[in-house]
C-alpha cells in the first residue's frame, strides 16, 4: 500500500509541474499584452515599457516561469530600484487592475466556493446514493419508476434554471427563506445556513439525479453476482449483503465521479454563484476574464487544475482501500 501511494504521489507531482508549464505557456502566448492592459488612460510607449519591466515581462519566457515558480515557494519582487514591492509566498501574481495580490483574492473567495461545493457534495451523495439503492432494490416497481423519472427530470434541467426557480418560488413568492447576501458562519450561523441552503439544493438536485442513476445501475449489476447469492445462502442479514457486499463492490465508478465532480466545483461553481450572488472563486474568474486580468485568470486556472489532479490522487488511494487488487497495478 505504501509503495502504491508513493507511485501515485510522484505521478501527481509530475502532472502538477507539467500542468503549470502548460498553463503558463498558454497564457504567455495570448495576443493580449498585460503591460498595455495595465497602463491606464495615459498609455504611451514609455509607460507600456515601464509596466513591462515592472511585471517582469521584459525577461525571456523561461526566466518568467522560473520567477513565477519561485514566487509560489519563496515570494517575488516586482519592479526595481525604489519602485519595488514584495509579494510574499505563496505568490501567484499581482493584479494591477484590483491593486491586490492574487493570492489574497483567491484566499478571500475560495472558502465561499469550498462551503458551497462541500455542502452540495454531502447532500447529493447522501440523497443520490440512497435513492439509487432503493430504486435498484425495487426494480420495476413504482418506487423505481418514480425515482428514475424524477432523476431524469432533475438531470435534464440546467443548474441556473433550477436556481432561478428556487429563488422565485422559495424566496420571492412563498417567502420561506430570506436572503440578504453571503454572511460568514462565525458572524451569523443561521444567516449562513439560509444563504447556502438554496445553492446547495440547486447543485445537489442535478448531481443527485446522476448519482441515483449511476448507483442503481451499479447495484443491479453487483446484486446479480454469484458472491451475493453465496452471502445470502450463508444466512447473512440483508443489510450486510446490500451494504458490505453489494454497494461496496459497486463503489468504484461512484468514487471516481464523486472525486472529479467535487474537484470541479472547488474550481468554481460559476453559474450557481452568479444566480445566488455568492462572491466565490467562479465569480472571481469570470470577473477577471471580463476585465482581462491575466494574472488572476492564470492563477484561478492553476488552482482549479490542481484540485482536479489532487482529486485523482485521492480517488486512486480510495480505489486501493475499496479494492485491494488495484494496489498491484
pLDDT tens-digit profile of 174-210? 878 766 678 888 888 888 988 899 999 998 988 998 9
Mapping DSSP to helix (H, G, I), strand (E, B) and coil, where does residue 56 land? coil
End-to-end CA distance of the chain: 11
How many whole angstroms separate alpha carbon 109 and alpha carbon 117?
13
Measured torsion, CA atoms of residues 95, 99, 101, 106, in degrees rounded to the nearest 10: -80
The pTM is what? Answer: 0.86
Q: Which residue has the higher pLDDT, 30 or 256?
A: 256
Model confidence pLDDT, tens digit, residues 208-232: 989 999 999 988 888 878 888 888 8
pLDDT at 145: 92
- All structural domains of the chain: 31-91 (no CATH), 103-328 (1.10.3720.10)
DSSP summary character for residue 277: T
Cβ-based neighbours of 285, under 8 Å, separated by 6 or more: 268, 270, 296, 297, 300, 301, 304
pLDDT at 82 > cutoff 70: no
Mapping DSSP to helix (H, G, I), strand (E, B) and coil, where does residue 101 land? strand
Mean pLDDT of 127-149: 91
How many whole angstroms separate alpha carbon 276 and alpha carbon 90?
30
**Beta strand 85-87 pairing with 76-78:** antiparallel
Q: State how far Cα 162 lies from the chain centre.
A: 20
How many whole angstroms separate alpha carbon 111 and alpha carbon 7?
30
pLDDT at 173: 85
Q: Which residue has cell 503558463? A: 24
Q: Which residue has the higher pLDDT, 107 or 229?
A: 107
Q: Which pLDDT band holds residue 120 (cuts at 50, 70, 90)?
A: very high
Enter the C-alpha cell of residue 108.
478571500
What is 244-311 written as a DSSP string? IIIIHHTHHHHHHHHHHHHHHHHT--HHHHHHTT---HHHHHHHHHHTT-HHHHHHHHHHHHHHHHHH
Amino acid at each position: 500500500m505504501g509503495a502504491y501511494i508513493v507511485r501515485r504521489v510522484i505521478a501527481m507531482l509530475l502532472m502538477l509541474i507539467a500542468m503549470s508549464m502548460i498553463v503558463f505557456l498558454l497564457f504567455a502566448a495570448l495576443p493580449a499584452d498585460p503591460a498595455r492592459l495595465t497602463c491606464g488612460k495615459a498609455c504611451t510607449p514609455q509607460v507600456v515599457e515601464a509596466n513591462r519591466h515592472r511585471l517582469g515581462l521584459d525577461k525571456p519566457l523561461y526566466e518568467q516561469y522560473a520567477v513565477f515558480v519561485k514566487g509560489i515557494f519563496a515570494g517575488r519582487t516586482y519592479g526595481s530600484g525604489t519602485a519595488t514591492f514584495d509579494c510574499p509566498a505563496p505568490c501567484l501574481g499581482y493584479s494591477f487592475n484590483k491593486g491586490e495580490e492574487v493570492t489574497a483574492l483567491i484566499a478571500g473567495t475560495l472558502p465561499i466556493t469550498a462551503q458551497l461545493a462541500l455542502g452540495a457534495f454531502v447532500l447529493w451523495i447522501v440523497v443520490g446514493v440512497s435513492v439509487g439503492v432503493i430504486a435498484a432494490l425495487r426494480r420495476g416497481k413504482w418506487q423505481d419508476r418514480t425515482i428514475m423519472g424524477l432523476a431524469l427530470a432533475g438531470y435534464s434541467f440546467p443548474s441556473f434554471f433550477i436556481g432561478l426557480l428556487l429563488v422565485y418560488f422559495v424566496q420571492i413568492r412563498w417567502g420561506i427563506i430570506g436572503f440578504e447576501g453571503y454572511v460568514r458562519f462565525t458572524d451569523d450561523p443561521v444567516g449562513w445556513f439560509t444563504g447556502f441552503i438554496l445553492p446547495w439544493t440547486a447543485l445537489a438536485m442535478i448531481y443527485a439525479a446522476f448519482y441515483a442513476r449511476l448507483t442503481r445501475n451499479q447495484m443491479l449489476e453487483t446484486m446479480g453476482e454469484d458472491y451475493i447469492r453465496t452471502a445470502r445462502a450463508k444466512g447473512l442479514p440483508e443489510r450486510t449483503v446490500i451494504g458490505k457486499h453489494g454497494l461496496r463492490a459497486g463503489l468504484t465508478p461512484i468514487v471516481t465521479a464523486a472525486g472529479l465532480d467535487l474537484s470541479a466545483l472547488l474550481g468554481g461553481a460559476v453559474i450557481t454563484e452568479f444566480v445566488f450572488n455568492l462572491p466565490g472563486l467562479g465569480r472571481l474568474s469570470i470577473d477577471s476574464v471580463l476585465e482581462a486580468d491575466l494574472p488572476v485568470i492564470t492563477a484561478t486556472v492553476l488552482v482549479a487544475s490542481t484540485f482536479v489532479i489532487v482529486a485523482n490522487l485521492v480517488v486512486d488511494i480510495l480505489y486501493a482501500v475499496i479494492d485491494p487488487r488495484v494496489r498491484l497495478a
